[in-house]
Amino acid sequence: MSDGRIDGQQFREWLRYHLALFPGMKPAFLDKLPPSGSGTELEKDYAEQMAVWYKQLNWYTLKELEAASDLLSQQEVGKKTSLGYGRHFAVVAKIAKSEVRSHGSIYPKQVYQDGEQVYQCDLCRDEGCRIVWGPVSIRYALGRGPIEKLKLGDDGTLYQTTVACTCSTGRGYFARQMTTFDDKLHLPLHRWEDGAQRYVIGQMEDAAEQGRLVAWAEVRVKESGQQQPQQQQTNIPF
């Protein structure tokens, strides 16, 4: 990784730069976050969420992040469906990470066989982290979402998050900044299916993926020894 990764002041400088490229992001997304000091177990407030995003991005330099924002802005031009603002931080980190990879530091050397890349870890494809369903979506899958009138699949119920993979890259780098994958707590959206011998990039909007989440969550509740979801019951193990 290159030296000079951002500090808090530079993070704010990058955020101003990013918001200038995406002027709709502040009124449509950031301004709607709960005010600082009003967060809950299920929903982080503005300051807490900013701390999470800073932790995601402070592995990179200001130049790397600005370049990543520029590239994201270019990618979004002309798209009929824009990337949700809440995903911007993770995507910027991923783009910046590709710059880190090009300098070859934390990732295994890329190996190709017969024109196909061979991965040391099939589960994360040497990314070091995995995309999983977010805890709020798990609660909606069990009928215990924070907004009772909403059901899984409605707007505001579909969330994903990133966790560190259990491979050497995940343990050696990403585990220092995020939770490590645990199959009792996390259901991957991006996953390797041994039976089908294929890597599946699941989409949250797919009914089949939502059904898979519901079935998994119900099994996890049973395995934890708890009763089936009751209307007033909110204590679940994930």
Domain spans of the chain, in order of start? 1-105, 115-228
Query: What is the C-alpha separation between 116 and 152, in angstroms, rounded?
Result: 38
How many other C-beta atoms can be found within 10 angstroms of the C-beta atom of residue 118? 11
3 state DSSP class of 161: strand
- Going by C-alpha positions, the residue among 63, 57, 171, 60 that lies closest to residue 108 is 171
Q: pLDDT, tens digit, for every residue of 75-127?
A: 776 555 566 888 888 888 888 877 555 555 566 677 888 788 888 898 988 87
Of 145, 182, 142, 146, nearest in space to 161 by CA? 182
pLDDT of residue 231: 40
Question: SS3 breakdown of the chain: % helix, strand, coil, rounded to 5?
Answer: 40, 10, 45
**231 vs 189, higher pLDDT:** 189
Whether 50 has a pLDDT exceeding 90, the answer reads no
Residue 12: predicted pLDDT: 92
pLDDT tens for 167-185 read 988 887 677 667 899 999 9
What tokens were used for 27?
A: 């009124």
Number of C-alpha atoms within 13 angstroms, CB side, residue 18? 26
pLDDT band at 233 (very low <50, low <70, confident <90, very high): very low
* pLDDT for res 75: 75
Residues 120, 126: contact at Cβ < 8 Å?
yes
Lowest mean per-residue pLDDT among 36-45, 85-94, 162-171, 213-222: 36-45
